[in-house]
């Protein structure tokens, strides 16, 4: 099964990347954008999806500073 893990900075944790992008956007003529946060996306084929939560805790995310969200069975592998 193809799964996707979304990792984002925990609420309350400084997100310098998100800040920088948010500050840049108006200059490019994109207005009305707010609350920008930048995280990671991991996509993988996994035989046993029940392993995913532990995988996130131990490797894919850093639970101290990041939250994660598991999206099971997404479409097609994006990559062969």
The DSSP symbol for 2 reads E
16 binds a copy of itself per the rule CB under 8 A: no
Count of residues near other proteins by CB under 8 A: 23
What are the Cα distances from residue 4, in Å, to 19, 47, 48, 53? 25, 13, 13, 12
CB of 5 to other proteins, least distance (A): 11
Pick out residues in 20-79 that bind a copy of itself (CB under 8 A). Answer: 21-22, 24-25, 28, 30-48, 51, 54-55, 58-60, 67, 77-79
65 binds other proteins per the rule CB under 8 A: yes
d(CA 1, CA 63): 24
């Amino acid at each position: 099964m193809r799964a996707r893990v979304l990792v984002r900075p925990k609420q309350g944790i400084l997100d310098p990347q998100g800040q920088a992008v948010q500050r840049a956007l108006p200059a490019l003529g994109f207005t009305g954008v707010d609350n920008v946060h930048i995280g990671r996306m991991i996509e993988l084929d996994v035989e046993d999806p029940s392993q995913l939560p532990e995988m996130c805790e131990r490797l894919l995310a850093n639970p101290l500073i990041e939250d994660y969200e598991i999206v099971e069975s997404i479409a097609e592998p994006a990559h062969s």
